[in-house]
Amino acid sequence: MTASISDILLQWYDAHARDLPWRLAPGSALPDDPDWPYRVWLSEVMLQQTTVAAVKPYFAKFVATWPSVVALAQADEDAVMAAWAGLGYYSRARNLVKCARAVAERGGFPATEAELRSLPGLGAYTAAAVAAIAFGQRAVVVDANVERVAARLFAIADPLPGARKAIRAAAEQITPQERAGDFAQAMMDLGAQICTSKAPRCLLCPLREACAGHATGAPESLPVKPAKKTVPERRGTAFWIVQSDAEGEPCVWLVTRPSAGMLGGMRALPDDGWSAARDGTGILPLAGSWRDLGAVRHGFTHAHLTLAVKGLATDAPPPGEGRWWPIARLDEAGLPTLFAKAAQLALAAT
């Protein structure tokens, strides 16, 4: 059964693999290219909790700007953070630079899963994916898609997260010795295109006859997910502080957020200290004739935020560290999505 599942799935993948810019064609030999592991690693980091459609333009931009891990290691961290803006989960970008520098220092990516795990920011999934896809090592790769396919294939009915040990054991059981990278990507594609979260397309599934979940008549009920927690509502205020420079060019005051915490290390509008755990203080950073410019809504993993935006034109220097950024070049600042929304609101209201 084990051999037939992997063989059937690989045959399906050979015919139906998604054409993605970071992939080889099914069955291809690994390229003799030192930058190949870099592209695999970069794509896998970007794809964490992010859709393929969202990642494609970012991947293209990164490999055009920093075509090798050495180039990325030498990059200015602010430039990398700005290029990442809008992709979310910004700790990934900080770890990207740390990992690139560690890899460059050692002269390249290690080829084994265990050594890859020692690099900054590489957890179990990413290390296994790079080992299998970039180096052809047999590694058990379990992302959300693979988790869903394995849970249904073996009808693993224990609720998550407790079921993950059994799901990994099931994935281990069917991972072949050869073409482990293609097999991992085949499982991902099957989960993304056929064995979807809702309304799985079982009639098109190459593994339907072997699927214990399909045999139950309710494969969509697997894996069993825990009850969703209530996401708290938070409120905060962002400050749109403007003045003109010596040439009369309008500028807005931007700060760099602390490296630890939400949107860490990103350029942003100053705010009143909101976080996922608490509301902001609402305290204005400067005296003056502030205007209410409206509010924006944004969803984070651990909170929903309503961010009021207040504006002030001033000749006084704002408190704390920051810089005046030309409003005409604000799209170059790399603001994360929340503050890009706030900036668009402010620009529309002024």
Please give the full DSSP string across 207-222, using - where no structure is assigned: TGGG-HHHHHT-GGG-
Tell me the angle at which helices 36-47 and 52-65 cross, rounded to the nearest 10 degrees: 140
Annotated active-site residue in 44, 115, 209, 321: 44
- The answer to whether 75 touches 66, Cβ cutoff 8 Å, is yes
Cβ distance 214 to 205 under 8 Å?
yes
Is residue 44 annotated as a catalytic residue, yes or no? yes
From its phi and psi, is residue 272 left (phi > 0), alpha (psi between -120 and 50) or beta? alpha
User: Which residues have a Cβ under 8 Å from the Cβ of 145 and sit 6 or more positions away?
Assistant: 187, 188, 189, 190, 191, 192, 195
What span, in angstroms and rounded, lies between the C-alpha atoms of 312 and 186?
Answer: 54
233: tokens are 């509502």
Is 107 buried (19+), middle (13-18) or exposed (0-12) by CB count in 10 A? exposed
Identify the bridge partners of residue 229 per DSSP, sorted by sequence position. none
Catalytic residues: 44
